[in-house]
Each structure stands twice: as C-alpha cells, then as structure tokens.
Structure 1
C-alpha cells in the first residue's frame, strides 16, 4: 500500500465521520477523493460513490429503524421512481453520453469534464442549502399530508441527478419530505437515509455490467467509511450540529469552486 492509497483510506474514514455527524455529505467528499486523489475516472468514481454512500446510508437507516423514526410509506412512494430513474441513468444514459460534448469559450468539454463540472454545480447547490437554509422542522405529528404526485416527481428528479453524479441527494430529499409530505425533521432525515440507500445501491447495480469493479478496494473503502459513521454518531453528542453543517457547507463551496477551476485549467 503506497502513501496515496493510505491517505485515500483515511479520507474514507473522514467521509464516514461526516455522514455520522450531519447525516449527509458523503458523496460530496467521495467523488473528489476518488477522482483527484486516487485517480479514478469520473464515471467509475460516481459508480463507486453510489456503493459507498449506499452502504453507509443503509447502516444509518437500520439504526433509525430501531428508533422507529423511518416513515416507510413515504420512503416507498419516493423510492420507486427514484430507483427506476437512477438505475436507468447508470445503465443507459451515462454510457450513452458522448466522449466529447462540445466547446465552451474555447474549452473542449469531454465526458469526464462535463460530469465533474455538473457535480461541482450540485455541490454549489448543496453548499448554499447547508449555509443558508434554516430549520424546517414540523412539530405537529398529526399534520402529515402526502402530496403523492409531487413526491413522485421529486423522486424521479433526484434519481436522475444521483445517477449522473453519484450523489446521495439528501440535500434535495430532506426538504421534499418536509415540505411535500409534511414529515417532522427527524423523521425526514431518517427516512432520507433509507431512500438514499435503496436508490444508490440499485443505481450501482446498473454499473456492474458496464464497469470492471475493483471489489477488494471498494469493500475496504466502504468498510472504513462505515466505521467512520459510528465515530461520527458518537462525536455528534459533543458537537453543535447546526454550526458544523454550516462550516461543512463553506468547505463544500470552496471544493466546488476548486473543481470548476481545475477542470477548466486542464
């Protein structure tokens, strides 16, 4: 094991800790680590990210099921269009993207560059959400109303985005569950983890036939990340979640800007 690979595994631990602390942000770190540190191409990195985030979210979901915080009815309504969209995107759309997308301001936009720039845009949205979004907690448990058409549409949209960039999409799912299904915030976060796990892992299945998977690396990386989740959950007792989320949002914003400059300077 060389130094770069060792640093990569340390980053896997950090990814898990972040997930355990704030309940999201795993894919935002996973893809850049795999692309820029471990030199995977973006298509493979987004596929691996789906597996890492999916396994990690599944661990968190099981923990929340024990606390009876998961709303299974909402999870099913959201997950069905989401996993159909993410599987179809990884199986058919991503492989069909041409290697050269065109030129912008004299820069040749390749498939790899396009995926990373789009990923950076999603990071910007996530960062702004974490920095400026106020709590949308719903305390009235009896006010749950299921707006099925909008939940289904949101599920499909999040599924497509997940398929393209390998992001779990928690920053899109949680507001949808709060605003469209009127779930209390704690239940929305818990239910989001189950949705992320299901659609990410099913999306990864769409990659198995298209990519040569390094299972040894992927399982070790994912296992370390899962270990980090338990550390994050323990540390969460001693950390102000709102301040941490906002600080992480600024970090993500800087990373997004870095990715854009790096891709257009290559």
Structure 2
C-alpha cells in the first residue's frame, strides 16, 4: 500500500512539473527539483537525497524534452517549415552535451548541500530571467542569422555543467542567452533550444547512470506523469493568460529558493 501511494505521489508530481513545463515553455526541472525534494518528505512517503532528486529530475527532463521534440517535428511536417537552426544546434548541442555529462558525473562527488546550493543559484537566475522582457528579433530568415560561435560554445558548456549537476535541461537559461547575447530570432530560439535541451538531457542521463543514485520505481512514475502533463500544459497555454501564471511561478520559485538558502545558511 505504501509503495502504491509513493507511485501515485510521484506520478502527480511529474504531472505537475511537466504541466508547467508545457504551459510556460521551460524544461520543468526548476519546478520539479523542489517538489521532489520536499513533497514526498512532507507526506512521509520518501525522503530523497539531493543526488536522488537530481537523478529523477534529469530523467523527467529527458522524456519531457523528447516528447517536445517529437511534437515539434509533427507540427513541422504539417506546416512544411522549420525554425531549427542546424549550425546553432550543432555548436551549442555538442558543447552542452559534454558539459551535462561532466555535471551529471560530478554530482556523485558533491554533497547534498552543494547540489542544493547550485539549485539555489539557478533559482535566483531563473527568477531574474523570467522577469526580463524578451529581446529577441522576430525575423526568421535563417540565411541572415549569424552568431558568435565562441560565446555559444562556452555558454552552452557552462549551462550543461550546472544543469547536469541539478538534473535540469537548462532551457530557462539557454533561451535568454540565445535571445540577448547571440541575438537569435525568437521563433528560431524556441525551436532550436528544444533540440539543444534534448541533447543536454541525453548527456545528463548518461552522467546520472554513471553516477548512480537512481531510485528506479519513483523515477518510472515521475516519467509517466511527465508524459501525461506536458501535452496538457501545451494545449492550455494557448487558451489562458500565461503571464499571470508566469509571475505566479516566479513567486513559487523565489519562495523555494528562500527555503533552500535558509537551510544552507
């Protein structure tokens, strides 16, 4: 009975995290990490370590981003168009893949407080970036898109490392970097970041498998919930005022960051 309740809790948490992922166009780990860290413990069904939470979250991001890529490819076939910038995906994807493997493997040697610290820093960055207005261009002519390859490679590598440690895809950091630093058009940024985050998730999953700390049963039910929640969030996003939910999410992440920083300090 306890195992069944644990599975139900993990399924609901995976569904909630991926719902907001589909709703707001982010990877979901920035939401899932605190949910997985605190809720099972509060309900008395499990007490996951930071390493276990980051592993579960990484698998959730992998399957959520895979579902997103497949969904985008389907839409792309129907519209006969593509906003994915192949050169950008190759440069940033290769770099973030290496970084996420390094981060995923490194998490094995980091304490729970250190991983929570990394999340706390990411949460602050996420709040700031989510409050900034988008500055991306709106043209989508890929022949006219030029970007600084050095900045693209270095920034993707650094994002990959911290994302691999926490178990995130890094979309909430990648998108502002692509919009503001690399000056990539908005539509191309959204489509290309999806492919880059999926590559990051592959590296992160490989790193977590190498590092261990993977609770298989909870991970399975979290992934099932993620596959259910993401499409629902995507469909609803076109029908409601996402800005209100976005600011609500900012408050939620900020409160979580305060809780984690309080426990660290």
- Give TM class, smaller chain: 0.7 to 0.9
Structure 1 residues without counterparts, runs of 5 or longer: 98-110
Deviation of residue 214 (structure 1)? 3.3
Distance of 1:140 and 1:185 partners within structure 2: 8
**Residues 123 and 25 (structure 1), Cα distance of their counterparts in 2 relative to 1, 3 Å cut:** farther
Q: Give, in angstroms, the shift of residue 252 of structure 1.
A: 0.9
**In 2, are the aligned partners of 1:61 and 1:191 still within 8 Å (CA)?**
no
Structure 2 CA distance for aligned equivalents of residues 235 and 241 of structure 1: 9
Alpha carbons 2:15, 2:228 under 8 Å: kept: yes
Match of 1:121 in 2: 121
Task: Give distance in 2, aligned partners of 1:196 and 1:24.
Answer: 10
Distance 1:263 1:176 in 2: 28
Query: Runs of at least 4 residues of structure 1 off by over 6 A?
Result: none
Give the structure-1-normalised TM-score.
0.86
1:79–1:195 Cα contact (<8 Å) kept: yes
Paired residues in the alignment total: 249
Q: Which residue of 67, 85, 97 maps to 1:59?
A: 67
Instruction: Please give the root-mean-square deviation of Cα atoms over the aligned residues, in Å.
Output: 1.9
Q: What is the Cα deviation at residue 255 of structure 1? A: 1.3
1:71 and 2:85 equivalent? yes
Match of residue 22 from structure 1:
24
TM-score, length-scaled by structure 2: 0.86
> 5 Å matches for 1:25-44?
26-38=28-40, 39-44=47-52
Segments of structure 2 that go 5 or more residues without pairing to the other structure are 41-46, 77-81
- 1:81 maps to what in 2? 95
- Partner residue, 1:140: 139
**Offset, 1:176:** 2.0
Aligned to 1:94: 107
User: 1:148-191: CA deviations, max 9, x gaps?
Assistant: 11100111111111122222211211122223443221221221
- Distance in structure 2 (CA, Å) of the matches to 1:139 and 1:190: 13
Once residues 237 and 129 of structure 1 are traced to their aligned partners in structure 2, the CA distance between those partners, rounded to angstroms, is 22
